[in-house]
Structure 1
Amino acid sequence: MKRVLLKLREAFISVLPVTVVVLILAATPLVNFTGAELGAFCVCAVFLILGIGLFNLGADLAMTPMGEQIGGGLTKSRKIAVLLIVCFLMGVLITVAEPDLSVLAEQVKGVMNGTLLIVTVGVGVGLFLLIAVLKIIMRKDLSAILMFFYMTLFALCALLIESGKNNFLAMCFDSGGVTTGPITVPFIMALGVGIATTIGGKNSNENSFGLVALCSIGPILAVIILSMTAQGDLTYSIPSYTVASELSGFGGILLATCREVVIALALIIAFFVILQLTVLKLPRAKIIQIIIGITYTFVGLVVFLTAVKVGFMPIGLKLGKMLAENRAVLIAFGLFLGMVVVLAEPAIHVLNKQVEEITGGGVTKKEMLIALCLGVGLAIALSMIRIIYNFSVLYYLIPGYLLSLGLSFFVPKLYTAIAFDSGGVASGPLTSGFILPMAIGACSTIAPDAVLQLAFGVVAMVAMIPLITIQALGFKAVMSAKARNRITMRRILAADDEQIINFAWEDKNAK
């Protein structure tokens, strides 16, 4: 019960800031919500807290242990072929169950079959999870692999533009951001830890990172290839959902969501049962824990997805439409909302603590939090500017990724691995469930004929920021350490023997 309350508290902290901001806006002349809309939004906020809390608890009890046991157990068996096949299949199945991906598929179903999109993204994650596992086993450099695949990615972007399907570009990059969500990240990171720990070696800590980074590239590549084959009417239809329409169809939405979640989790459970009977053979206590975790995951997913569809997506859409009437307010609100969403994201605080520990205080939690808040706020503000002035998301993404990849040559490899893994942490449930609909709403007012290429891309922008932020802070920490060492050496070389002894004594006491 204590763990349930802790997860609910984290979810409350996550959802409260956005809820308060919307309610404050509702009291101003800038927006005009009905009482029914605000009431439904507040009720859905409560259910969103419940859904996120139960879902996160289920991930801790089921997805993380499953990842560690599969990674460690299959690596110990030394059946590498079996390990790779299992990683590919689990990558596909875990991604199919990802709630953020379901939210994205719901919003692009007008131009692309939602089921086909989800399966394609799942295959992309599975293939790149397989590549990531090979990286750990073969102890290959992450920076070089990232450089190769991002260059391939931008080459495919050029082909997509040449084929006249550039409307899909922003959506392709968003698919990478939403894939690394609350189900996928715990499982994949735990899988990496299990494999790296079992293999061992002096760089096992570093090798355990980087799986999420590679799994973010796979969906983008897969959806670009899928987009090249798209046929028929490619005109995006602006969603017509409202709080009233969603409430009237609440029963149908709930049943459809239950069916989707049952199918997604059933695939994972069936595959895990096969592994348990043939390879893992976990004790009964661990199996009971995983069953309880899957139950929490199911309930949390159903409540989360229903609350997003009924309350948050319609309110976000309408909010974007109304704020777009005043473009300066739209940009300013985007900046503020980005800062609030990151500040409230529980995974961000875990990441900040992790980076401070690994870097030995070279990058503090406070520095990380400030940098990420400003960075993600800026990302959303820039996305609003892009909607207003109508230009491609590549004008942001290409320089951003080139800067990220360039920094990887100047910072320790651990910073690069953590940075590229952290892209999915910043783009949490509220990004795809509230900020993306807000961008769609704003674009439907400003540029209704270009929603697909302008509104989408905001998730990709949010996911890109930690890549730059964490490595920039790492670069600063490295430069500061070098500067301190140079000053110390100059003082030693300029001093006589007695001063050196006194200096060493003072330095020892300071520590």
Structure 2
Amino acid sequence: MEILLDLAKTLLSTIGDILPILLLLVGFQFLVLRKPLPHARHTIIGFIYVLLGLALFLSGLEKALFPIGKLMAAQLSDPMLVFGTPLVPEHPGWWNYGWIYLFAFLIGFATTIAEPSLLAVALKAQEVSRGTVEPFHLRIAVALGVAVGITLGTFRIVTGHNLVYYIVAGYLVVLVQTFYAPRMIIPLAYDSGGVTTSTVTVPLVAALGLGLSATIPGRNPLLDGFGLIAFASLFPMISVMGYAQLAAWMAKRAQKPLQDARQQDGTSR
């Protein structure tokens, strides 16, 4: 019964959030465009599906994803697991938290592979590029970028380093890559950094960061708990452009023997 009451409250809150969007779309349709709503029945049913889906999703976040992320962070940073004693040393080393880094890498990779928005972008990229961009390869490149980014973000939480240094250094790398990466991949790489921070990745990553900062001694959840999502947005841009640069280099290297053979054949003639 309590779950149903919570779901009802979430549904009412979701209706309040969706209502301005609905009024905006309907207002433009009837007052600006002055045209009837096409497929009105399907549109109304679709909005009902959106309301129910969002309400269920938000309830799932509160009941499952956020608690799981915090629980895993608390368990992986438990002194008995990390140090073998119930007491935390005065100056713990960053290398003691290896299980946290491994979990961060795997959860970043797994949630990104399951991200619906990334799959949609990958399929559209394949369609527009006429098969040049392979969706699976793109998803793997993005997932590796997110995994490395979240791992580095957890390292920052453990060590307490300033977030600014990591973000500035990362965007400097992106800036340099932008000048040398194939032009076709640059917009896709930038978009790939945005689609990773969506429905599946954000809840678990945010809960992981807040859980770590709350359990690791000397960390402040407000100062150290946030920022992992920034890593999850930044590093896919690096990995996708890096993947494109590597593919271009390998293709060029494969063509070089053919070019040399043609040159030798032309010289012999």
Judge same fold: TM > 0.5, yes or no: yes
Query: Aligned letter for 1:278?
Result: L
The residue that corresponds to 1:474 in the other structure is 244
The residue that corresponds to 1:452 in the other structure is 222
Please show how residues 180-199 of structure 1 align to structure 2 within 5 Å: none
Secondary structure of the corresponding residue to residue 409 of structure 1? helix
Please show how residues 402-413 of structure 1 align to structure 2 within 5 Å: 402-413=172-183
The residue that corresponds to 1:82 in the other structure is none
CA distance in 1, matches of 2:223, 2:209: 11
The residue that corresponds to 2:235 in the other structure is 465
CA distance in 2, matches of 1:482, 1:288: 54
Please show how residues 18-37 of structure 1 align to structure 2 within 5 Å: none
Q: Tell me, which stretches of 5 or more residues in structure 1 are unaligned?
A: 1-246, 500-511
Preserved contact between residue 419 and residue 471 of structure 1 (Cα < 8 Å): yes
Preserved contact between residue 321 and residue 442 of structure 1 (Cα < 8 Å): yes
CA distance in 2, matches of 1:484, 1:357: 26
CA distance in 2, matches of 1:383, 1:371: 18
Please show how residues 11-50 of structure 1 align to structure 2 within 5 Å: none
Question: By how many angstroms is 1:432 displaced?
Answer: 2.5
The residue that corresponds to 1:431 in the other structure is 201
Q: Does residue 77 of structure 2 align to residue 307 of structure 1?
A: no
Q: Does residue 82 of structure 2 align to residue 329 of structure 1?
A: no
CA distance in 2, matches of 1:286, 1:482: 51
CA distance in 2, matches of 1:474, 1:353: 17
Q: Does residue 20 of structure 2 align to residue 267 of structure 1?
A: yes
Secondary structure of the corresponding residue to residue 372 of structure 1? helix
Q: Taking structure 1 as reference, are residues 269 and 358 closer, same or farther at Cα in structure 2, changes over 3 Å only?
A: closer
Question: By how many angstroms is 1:413 displaced?
Answer: 3.4
Question: By how many angstroms is 1:312 displaced?
Answer: 2.2
Q: Does residue 47 of structure 2 align to residue 294 of structure 1?
A: yes
The residue that corresponds to 2:90 in the other structure is none
Q: Taking structure 1 as reference, are residues 496 and 437 closer, same or farther at Cα in structure 2, changes over 3 Å only?
A: closer
The residue that corresponds to 2:261 in the other structure is 491
Preserved contact between residue 363 and residue 477 of structure 1 (Cα < 8 Å): no
Q: Aligned Cα RMSD in Å?
A: 2.8
CA distance in 2, matches of 1:496, 1:328: 58
The residue that corresponds to 2:70 in the other structure is 317
CA distance in 1, matches of 2:136, 2:25: 40
Q: Taking structure 1 as reference, are residues 306 and 405 closer, same or farther at Cα in structure 2, changes over 3 Å only?
A: same
CA distance in 1, matches of 2:262, 2:45: 61
Question: By how many angstroms is 1:484 displaced?
Answer: 5.0
Say how many residue pairs are matched.
Answer: 252
Question: Scaled by the length of structure 2, what TM-score is found?
Answer: 0.80
Q: Tell me, which stretches of 5 or more residues in structure 2 are unaligned?
A: 83-96
Preserved contact between residue 258 and residue 302 of structure 1 (Cα < 8 Å): yes
Preserved contact between residue 144 and residue 236 of structure 2 (Cα < 8 Å): no
The residue that corresponds to 2:91 in the other structure is none
Preserved contact between residue 115 and residue 199 of structure 2 (Cα < 8 Å): no
Q: Taking structure 1 as reference, are residues 456 and 495 closer, same or farther at Cα in structure 2, changes over 3 Å only?
A: same
Deviations 1:176-228 (A, max 9, x none): xxxxxxxxxxxxxxxxxxxxxxxxxxxxxxxxxxxxxxxxxxxxxxxxxxxxx
Q: Does residue 146 of structure 2 align to residue 376 of structure 1?
A: yes
Question: By how many angstroms is 1:497 displaced?
Answer: 10
Secondary structure of the corresponding residue to residue 162 of structure 2? coil
Please show how residues 130-279 of structure 1 align to structure 2 within 5 Å: 250=3, 253-279=6-32
Q: Taking structure 1 as reference, are residues 337 and 275 closer, same or farther at Cα in structure 2, changes over 3 Å only?
A: same
Deviations 1:301-335 (A, max 9, x none): 11110121122212322221121123222221111
CA distance in 1, matches of 2:268, 2:39: 62
Question: By how many angstroms is 1:351 displaced?
Answer: 3.3
Query: Aligned letter for 1:304?
Result: F
Secondary structure of the corresponding residue to residue 181 of structure 2? coil
Q: Taking structure 1 as reference, are residues 288 and 414 closer, same or farther at Cα in structure 2, changes over 3 Å only?
A: farther
Preserved contact between residue 387 and residue 447 of structure 1 (Cα < 8 Å): no
The residue that corresponds to 1:345 in the other structure is 115
Question: By how many angstroms is 1:454 displaced?
Answer: 1.5
Q: Taking structure 1 as reference, are residues 291 and 497 closer, same or farther at Cα in structure 2, changes over 3 Å only?
A: farther
Query: Aligned letter for 1:341?
Result: T
Identity %: 25
CA distance in 1, matches of 2:139, 2:4: 40
Question: By how many angstroms is 1:367 displaced?
Answer: 3.1
Q: Does residue 138 of structure 2 align to residue 385 of structure 1?
A: no
Q: Taking structure 1 as reference, are residues 355 and 274 closer, same or farther at Cα in structure 2, changes over 3 Å only?
A: closer
Query: Aligned letter for 2:50?
Result: T
Question: By how many angstroms is 1:458 displaced?
Answer: 0.9
CA distance in 2, matches of 1:362, 1:475: 14
Query: Aligned letter for 1:273?
Result: V
Preserved contact between residue 160 and residue 219 of structure 2 (Cα < 8 Å): no
CA distance in 1, matches of 2:245, 2:130: 14
Deviations 1:457-500 (A, max 9, x none): 1111111122112111222233344445554443333324999x
CA distance in 2, matches of 1:432, 1:448: 25
Secondary structure of the corresponding residue to residue 464 of structure 1? helix
Question: By how many angstroms is 1:298 displaced?
Answer: 0.6
